[in-house]
Amino acid sequence: MKAPHFLCVFLIGLMMSCTTQTRLPETGLVEFTILQINDVYEIAPIEGGAVGGLARVAQLKKELKAENPNTIAVLAGDFLSPSLIATLKVDGERIAGLQMVETLNEMGLDYATFGNHEFDISDPDLLQKRIHQSAFQYMSCNVMRVKDGKVAPFTQMVNGAEEAIPPYVIHEFKSSTGGITKVAIIGVVLPFNKQDYLQYLPLTESFRMAYEAAQQEADLVLALTHLNMEDDIELAKDVPGIPLFLGGHEHVNLNHYIEETIITKADANAKTAYVHHFTFDPKTKLTRIKSTVKAINKDLKSEENTQKVVDRWQNQVNGILEEMGYEPDRKLMEAGAPLVCTEALIRTQQTNFGQLTCRGIQMAFPAADVCFVNSGSMRLDDNLSGTIVEYDILRTYPFGGAIVQMEVPGKDLQTILNIGLDDNYGEGGYFQILGVTGKRDAWQIKGVPLDLQKKYTLALPQFVAEGKEARLGILANFEFEKPEQLKIGFRTVPNDIRNLVIAYMQN
């Protein structure tokens, strides 16, 4: 195959409306548009309704398709999980992303690849069920399902038949003169989530094999990736020749040039979307790409049919939450700065949201020397900005759980801190903590070196106190006290971390 040539025009910044695509004369050139989103956990707008919302994305696709029928929408992983809705049950079955599937189906999503959070669903049969319920096509070149000792691709129902999820898909676009251009899209996911039912193939090798196979079938090859930016860059270097990586995972809109490849990522929860306008010459293989970042906000109306699906789910979920005693839309505070809760940061460093939570725990347990939560309990994997409502806290801590108090000797506390702040770095057992500074085997408690002979009082989640967090089984050796209610300032609330954070924000 003749080597492709690329000419890229890349517009950086938030565009308040889509760039209009000028119609070309009937020269046989193929014009097409790809709408890109990634890391979408909420079907409805967030930040008090200011940004995001899949009904708005549906409207954007509708407008783009009116400009050019050669328009598709893709999602670069992370959508079935995590979310508050996904943790709830309807008719005895965990929702587990069904709300996303039904909304994306109505929105008209065309293609998706897996993100690491899809595999938060621990039941592979339930995950497989959600895939079958999807009207959009999945693809992935490097993740397989292990079932009954056999390794094979996940499957998907396509036109009434069960088919293996392919490493890439081919979409056909028509030129103004009726010619067909075949565009292949390869899917790939970072090997992060280590469920027993998964097997990851070597990333670069499997991607290269998919690319070489796709080249034999397609006129142009693109990639739909859910990788760290560093991995995207290395992959683009190792397998050159692909003009665009439509990426995800970082949660903030990013772009990067590496040799012949542009890597683009939109903001999480559809706060923004990327719009890529392509012009492809079948004769010369010259590809021109014009990309813009589109803000998804109140300037976009909501597409009616998609909004009906969103409303149905939101009303159902709000009813469940109200039965639990919450007011999902009640305003708690205005965030002067974003409350940081992306998985990559809360599992590797102290964040303002983690510190806010720990200060709330300290207010409820004033006798505690050390207050901490395991970062894995904070499931938002996003940042909170603007108006913070109860629903935001519920989706941050969807599993809830009590906070307890215990006493431990200094020598054991040193071990606990070594594990929670060092051994568990990068994992869900990493501590968001208050009252501790220093480093391994040289910790300071409230500015004073840890005394191995002294006893210290800890306030922590009951789940961790029971020794259920990774490497922290030592905590199960100590008894804890669990008050039924917590006093936060002038408020008294049932003992649950969600109630604690909500009351602290109100206070």
423 secondary structure, DSSP code: I
- Tell me which of 3.30.360.10, 3.10.180.10, 3.40.190.10, 3.60.21.10 is the CATH number of domain 5-282+289-310: 3.60.21.10
Q: How far is CA 94 from CA 84, 97, 213, 495, in A?
A: 11, 9, 38, 24
46 secondary structure, DSSP code: B
User: What is the pLDDT at residue 25?
Assistant: 42
Phi-psi region of 144 (alpha: psi -120 to 50; beta: other; left: phi over 0): beta
User: What is the pLDDT at residue 22?
Assistant: 33
User: What is the pLDDT at residue 259?
Assistant: 86
User: What is the pLDDT at residue 176?
Assistant: 82
327-506 under CATH 3.55.40.20, yes or no = no
In which residue ranges of the chain is CATH 3.60.21.10 found? 5-282+289-310
User: What is the pLDDT at residue 280?
Assistant: 95
**Regions of the chain where pLDDT drops below 50:** 1-3, 5, 10-26
429 secondary structure, DSSP code: T
User: What is the pLDDT at residue 27?
Assistant: 61
Closest CA to 73 of 83, 53, 58: 58
Name the helix (H) or strand (E) containing 354: helix 352-364
CB 291 within 8 A of CB 276: yes
User: What is the pLDDT at residue 6?
Assistant: 53
User: What is the pLDDT at residue 15?
Assistant: 37
In which residue ranges of the chain is CATH 3.90.780.10 found? 327-506
- Give the SS3 label for residue 108: coil
Start-end of H helices in 31-141: 54-67, 84-87, 98-107, 124-133
Q: Is the peptide bond before 82 cis (omega within 30 degrees of 0)?
A: yes
Half-sphere exposure of 65 (CA within 13 A, CB side): 13
Quick: pLDDT tens for 159-173: 899 999 999 999 999
